[in-house]
């Protein structure tokens, strides 16, 4: 699941992941996202940090604090400085952080590197 209020970033990120073999659900609105995470039970939730109304960091904390969602890996995603989003990621218990980039291959390398921490054999594609 990709959650981003920027429609261009949301679509590009989702298309890059789909082109690499991942199944993707798109969310442009933070409201209702936790319900969708319960309903769909995605393996990964890629959260934009700068979501309006409820930051990606706060949403990540909510997901990580719920025992029913323990298997869901949360990754923070932002154009903010890498150290800032990595610190946020650690603080909220996310699996990792990825810096937003306009480069498909760079993004996919970063995504695979982060998910390999949870699923070492699944980093090439899948759900």
Domains of the chain: 2-96+110-115 (3.40.50.2300)
Write down the pLDDT at residue 61. Answer: 85
**Burial profile 54-88: b = 16 or more Cβ within 10 angstroms, e = fewer:** ebbbebbbebbeeeebeebbbbbbbebeeeebbeb
Q: What is the pTM of this model?
A: 0.89
Mean pLDDT of 100-108: 93
| Confidence category of residue 55, pLDDT binned at 50, 70, 90 | confident
Q: Is 30 exposed, middle or buried (0-12, 13-18, 19+ CB in 10 A)?
A: buried
Which residues, at least 6 apart from 86, have a Cβ–Cβ distance to it below 8 Å? 96, 97
* R_g over Cα of the chain: 13
């Amino acid at each position: 699941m990709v959650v981003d209020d920027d429609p261009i970033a949301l679509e590009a990120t989702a298309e890059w992941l789909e082109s690499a073999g991942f199944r993707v659900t798109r969310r442009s609105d933070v409201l209702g996202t936790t319900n969708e995470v319960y309903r769909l039970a995605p393996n990964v939730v890629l959260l934009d940090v700068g979501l309006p109304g409820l930051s990606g960091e706060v949403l990540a904390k909510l997901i990580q604090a719920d025992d029913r969602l323990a298997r869901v890996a949360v990754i923070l995603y932002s154009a903010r400085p890498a150290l800032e989003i990595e610190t946020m990621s650690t603080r909220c218990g996310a699996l990792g952080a990825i810096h937003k980039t306009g480069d498909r291959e760079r993004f996919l390398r970063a995504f695979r590197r982060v998910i390999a921490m949870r699923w070492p054999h699944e980093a090439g594609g899948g759900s």
